[in-house]
Amino acid sequence: MSEVALPIMSSERLGELLTLVRGADTVELKLSVPDGDQRSAVAALGMDPLDAQIRQVVFFDTPDLALDSRGVVIRARRVQRRPGDAVVKLRPVIPDELPPSLRRSPDFGVEVDAMPGGSFVASGTMKAPADNAHVTDVLAGRRPIRKLFTKQQRELFAAYGPDGVDLDELRPLGPITILKLKFSPGEFGRRLVAELWFYPDGSRILELSTKCLPAEALNVAAESRVFLGARGIDVGGVQQTKTRTALTYFSRQLTGARSAPRRSRS
């Protein structure tokens, strides 16, 4: 969810947002709920955890996050009782500056993510189906990473990824277990999505989101703010991003393991 942007943004910042929104296919309004407020948020919105779908997400990058530094995200996902998917994402992007051939691809879409406090970013995503078993094989080292991605996705990575970095040289960052719930509070009149991410250190991120067309964004943002605020959900708290938290956590694990002194064998 996003608070209404007009009162808190400079004219320049607002103009940047409107330019991105005009060039996007969709807008996703997101709100992360602080850990101490998650149980009350679940109760206030009438969410039933038994209706949630189990997912696993794994990112691929170098230990020093070379892809992330270039604005490239590589991800695969296993989904309960459904096919998984593989994603190559560019973030941030300026929609009007993307190659026309890329914008014409039916597998590529541009979305603006907006969060409370006036934070927003546009990303371009190319998604393709992936067999859940193939993702498992990649994590077990039985299958090369590149086999998860289509020819078009590999070409996108080659065009935007770091020079000299091959897909098969990347390291898995994850997996992370997720509960995803889609629900429609009757009085709200829109579908909400709740994702609860469980990180290996015991921390959690609960994110609420709703998608809309670009022309609807400001109205939906205002309606969402009013709806959540009336149910005691804080829309002004510090925001956490799921991907950033995951990349930072697993990168530290990899670099820590790599730099740790070897134990002598007795």
- pLDDT on residue 12: 86
In a domain, 258, yes or no: no
- pLDDT on residue 3: 37
Confidence bin at 248 (pLDDT 50/70/90): very high
Distance (Å, rounded) from C-alpha 67 to C-alpha 166? 11
The string of pLDDT tens digits covering residues 179-199 is: 999 999 878 989 999 999 999
In a domain, 232, yes or no: yes
Distance (Å, rounded) from C-alpha 214 to C-alpha 6? 16
The string of pLDDT tens digits covering residues 163-175 is: 999 999 999 999 9
Confidence bin at 258 (pLDDT 50/70/90): low
Instruction: CATH number of the domain at 118, please.
Output: 2.40.320.10
Range of 181's domain? 11-251
In a domain, 260, yes or no: no
Q: Tell which wins on pLDDT, 88 or 264.
A: 88
Number of domains in the chain: 1
Q: Calculate mean pLDDT across residues 30-34.
A: 93
- Point out the least confidently predicted range of 46-60, 204-218, 228-242: 228-242
Instruction: Tell me the pLDDT of the chain averaged across its residues.
Output: 91
Q: Calculate mean pLDDT across residues 250-259.
A: 79
Query: Rounded to 5 degrees, what are φ and ψ at 61?
Result: -160, 180
In a domain, 191, yes or no: yes
- pLDDT on residue 34: 86
> Which run of H or of E encompasses 35?
none
In a domain, 5, yes or no: no
pLDDT beyond 90 at 10:
no
In a domain, 167, yes or no: yes
In a domain, 261, yes or no: no
Q: Where are the alpha helices (DSSP H) in 105-237?
A: 132-139, 151-160, 217-230
In a domain, 206, yes or no: yes
Q: Calculate mean pLDDT across residues 235-258.
A: 86
Q: What is the 3-state secondary structure (H, E, C) of 200-261?
A: CCCCEEEEEEEEECHHHHHHHHHHHHHHHHHCCCCCCCCCCCHHHHHHHHHHHHHHHHHHCC
Within its chain, how far is the Cα of 126 from the centroid?
Answer: 13
